[in-house]
Amino acid sequence: MFNSRTKIKALLSSEQTGQEVTVMGWVRSFRNNQFIALNDGSTNNNIQVVAELGLLDDATLKRITPGASLKVVGQLIESLGKGQKVEVKAKNIEILGDCDPEKYPLQLKNRPTLEYLREKAHLRFRTNTFGAVFRVRHSLAFAVHKFFNDKGFVYLHTPIITSSDAEGAGEMFRVTTLPFDKTPRKEDGTVDFAEDFFGKSTNLTVSGQLEGELGAMAFSDIYTFGPTFRAENSNTTRHLAEFWMIEPEMAFYDIEDNMNLAEEFIKYIIKHAIEHNADDIAFLAQRLADEEKQLPQDKRSEFGLVEKLEFVLNNPFERITYTEAVDILLQSPAYKKKKFEYDVSWGIDLQSEHERYLVEKHFKKPVIVTGYPKAIKAFYMRQNDDGKTVAAMDILAPGIGEIVGGSQREERLEKLEERMREMHIPVEDLDWYLDTRRFGAVPHAGFGLGFERMVLFVTGMTNIRDVIAFARTPNNCEF
């Protein structure tokens, strides 16, 4: 029976030597025709399997190569070797799957680069780096659900296919069943979507927020956690065309309540990962430290990975207005010495370099910026009394920049309709959304957290393509 196996992580922490165990996994290394390092993905640590001389014939020995899969039955004994308490003295070894060492892409003697592994994304989970990254990713995802569940939030599944553009950005992937070679057209030459599957123009969602607000107007507190899509031609280390978003929406919340919840949420999921993935984070911290040794001194992080995470947990986030942020940037040595690539003035959308300066150089901790100019923010954000700004908030994190974006939503129907007309958003197309303002409107707020950016932050990886299983980016849709 295969389900009688014990996972390697459990065996390595076991004190019960002398018992017979069944362990299965993939060979990491095999030396002296006796010592097999076996790994099953439950931990980066291998268990040593000892095959006494004479247990296996020569033909079987030749098949035990890196990548081959084994079933081992044997006795758990104390290990005499360094670095592990226990090992398995094999009684029987069965080869479940062979692996040709001449063709296997993951050879220990040739340490593959991250760029190479992106091309082998279907196999990269077997490496220590990606084993650690994706176990941490799982832990963070579990913590997301636990945090909101324990607070009484309802998990709402918002649609993947939608006819709305929540951001008003227009960078959407179209969904259609219309034939490309004979697309039906109206008299004016535009596509006749009446003949399409849904009878109208549809796209992959850029956000579940608008639908989430509908849920909040009935359940008070809801959250979504699902894939979102942006057809933005950004070939950077921070952007993906398909990524996961966490979007809570809360009735009877103002902007301050929103900030408080977001800060508590971020600290909670980081703490969960530290407590449940200590070995993985320690491995990733050492990996990052080794990587940074190759950088010039001025490019290195001030904190190690663990220190950075603990610093976030142990310090309140700095809270400033957008206007204060711009003033700080204008007075900064970096601006005066013209080290910023992008100019600084009131009204600009802060660039990543500006955000990182505020976080990493000026405050040296996460920062929440509020009160952005309404001209650069979405239509649904509540307008402040000054007529120039909205009750928006972004949370900026070290090494990444913006990690959370949110706002108090505009609950006043007249103000919302006026803003939609200003931004040329057809009011009639979002009539269903406006009903939440017509029938029992309440102050409410919400935010969105890009899950991959959070995984980047916690793992110390530097390219967002390395924290999602199969990255979707411009000109790349493999696997």
Task: Give the pLDDT confidence of 390-436 residue by residue, as tens digits.
Answer: 999 999 988 888 999 999 999 999 999 999 999 998 899 899 999 99
Q: Which of 266, 262, 268 has the alpha carbon at shortest distance from 370? A: 262
Residues 6+ apart with CB under 8 A from 169: 206, 230, 232
Q: Which of 12, 9, 51 has the alpha carbon at shortest distance from 30? A: 51
At 2 the pLDDT is 64
Using an 8 Å Cβ cutoff, are 202 and 196 in contact? yes
Task: Give the pLDDT confidence of 296-339 residue by residue, as tens digits.
Answer: 877 777 789 999 999 899 999 999 999 999 999 999 999 999 99
pLDDT of 63 > 80? The answer is yes
Using an 8 Å Cβ cutoff, are 10 and 45 in contact? no
Calpha distance 448→404 (Å, rounded) = 6
pLDDT of 166 > 80? The answer is no
- Which secondary structure element, helix H or strand E, spans residue 94, and what is its range? strand 86-97
At 392 the pLDDT is 98
Alpha-carbon distances, residue 285 vs 12, 25, 311, 453 (angstroms): 22, 26, 15, 17
- Which secondary structure element, helix H or strand E, spans residue 91, and what is its range? strand 86-97
Q: Domains plus CATH for the chain?
A: 2-104 (2.40.50.140), 128-171+206-466 (3.30.930.10)
Q: Which of 36, 460, 411, 401 has the alpha carbon at shortest distance from 270? A: 460
Of the pLDDT bands very low, low, confident and very high (cuts 50, 70, 90), residue 169 is low
Task: Give the pLDDT confidence of 190-245 residue by residue, as tens digits.
Answer: 999 999 999 999 999 999 999 999 999 999 999 999 999 999 888 888 889 999 99
226 forms beta bridges with 245
Q: Which of 239, 291, 248 has the alpha carbon at shortest distance from 269? A: 248
Helix (H, G, I), strand (E, B) or coil at 216: helix
At 167 the pLDDT is 62
Calpha distance 412→230 (Å, rounded) = 29
Residues 6+ apart with CB under 8 A from 359: 365, 366, 367, 396, 397, 398, 401
- Which secondary structure element, helix H or strand E, spans residue 397, and what is its range? strand 389-397
Residues 6+ apart with CB under 8 A from 193: 176, 178, 199, 200, 201
pLDDT of 110 > 80? The answer is no
